Amino acid sequence: MPVRVGDHKLLSFASSVDDNTIAQALETASMPFVHPHVALMPDAHFGLGSAVGTVIPTVDAVIPAAVGVDIGCGMIAARTTLTHNDIADRDLAALRKSIESAIPLSPGNYNSNLGRYAFTQGRVAALETMATERGVDLGHSPKWREQLGSLGGGNHFIELCLDEADTVWMFLHSGSRGVGNRIAKRHIKRAQKLCRQWHITLPNDDLAYLPTGTPDLEVYLRDLAWAQAFAFENRAEMMDRFRQALAHWSGRTVDELEVDRVNCHHNYTVRERHGGKDVWLTRKGAVDAHEGVRAVIPGSMGSRSYVVRGKGNAAGLCSAPHGAGRRFSRREARARFTADDLAEAMAGIEYRHGDAWVDEIPAAYKDIDQVMADAVDLVEVEYTLRQILNVKGT
């Protein structure tokens, strides 16, 4: 059950959350256009702009920094026809290297050739058409086409997983890459400039907003929709490449390999109705959990992940957590843990060894079992997945 924090418009579903995160969420909830309340998800932690794991419904205004700089970041999972027995005697390291060849990893790494896969051009063309028809200016990102189908860094990852029945799943996490980042920063700066011009007092600059009726909000929503579409297609593009690699490695044909797919955002804004009003609902580190809606909730790189269905919980603003949530910052994780600690935590999982990923060690994240226990009123679990292969960008 959620807990109301003081007399404020903040409901928390988190059984374990630090004071800084609560304070940040309270600042967001204090904005006068929030309705009916801000919902803090079980995986909430301190973030840039607003706390990660915050669901923010706003009337006649949108806060660009609350959406964040990785517009449309999210998850995609695909169930295959393979079982563990089908791949038990195959070399997972070879599959990992094939994936790393097919999908550019790490910030700044893009595709050098857009013609390698037949399906890429269709996605590029659709995004070009959307940008042209809606007047989206992408002059700030001339390389956005080359970014499509690239992973990025941080906690973005690609995994091969098994469910409870030992069925093989493809699984990955990414967003709108550099083009989404530039779109976000452009509009965050614009909102901050306008709020200063209008002499609006804010709890902090990252709560600067764009109000309804201004051309600035119209432009932001237009650009936001394109960036969210890019992020969705970016995940789909990588999943199609992952499927090609898995089919070749496993000896199956591409057409017979995949039987189910779930693709969902967890950093985005959408028009929804809550508390009897039409609002702009920003999910910053949260997934859509309307009744029956499917979503994906990952754990850390060495723990379980989940495919879920929403329960449509009104108090939770029909939302659910987006993952395990960090316990320690990246800097603190590097101070606490070593590459040997990571190797021990990743025993039995194929991954690239080294200290580049120490800040992603499972111990740097909250207990995913506790997060899911806190989310029992928000979602029901459809599949539980465990990793056998992990690929990360630095």
Segment 8-41, tens digit of pLDDT: 799 999 998 999 999 999 999 999 999 999 999 9
Q: What domains lie within the chain, and their CATH numbers?
A: 3-327+365-392 (3.90.1860.10), 328-360 (no CATH)
The annotation status of 159 as a binding-site residue, yes or no, is yes
d(CA 269, CA 209): 13
- Residue-wise pLDDT tens digits, 90-105: 999 999 999 999 999 9
Active site residue 248: no
Give the CA diameter of the chain.
Answer: 66
Q: How many CB atoms lie within 10 A of CB 285?
A: 24
CA–chain centroid gap for 170, Å, is: 16
Percent of the chain with pLDDT over 70: 99
The annotation status of 157 as a binding-site residue, yes or no, is yes
E strands, the chain, are 3-4, 10-12, 38-45, 52-58, 61-62, 74-83, 157-162, 167-174, 210-211, 258-265, 267-274, 277-284, 286-288, 294-297, 305-310, 319-321, 379-392
The annotation status of 223 as a binding-site residue, yes or no, is no
**Which ranges of 198-336 would DSSP assign to H, the alpha helix?**
215-250, 254-257, 330-336
Is residue 129 scored above 90 in pLDDT? Answer: yes
The annotation status of 299 as a binding-site residue, yes or no, is yes
d(CA 182, CA 334): 28
The annotation status of 150 as a binding-site residue, yes or no, is no
Q: What mean pLDDT is reported for the chain?
A: 95
d(CA 344, CA 356): 15
Question: Six-digit token pair at 28?
Answer: 């967001």
Q: Find the catalytic residue in 35, 37, 265, 322.
A: 322
- Residue-wise pLDDT tens digits, 327-355: 898 999 999 999 999 999 999 999 999 88
Is residue 269 scored above 80 in pLDDT? Answer: yes
Q: What does the pLDDT read at residue 351?
A: 94
Q: What does the pLDDT read at residue 348?
A: 93
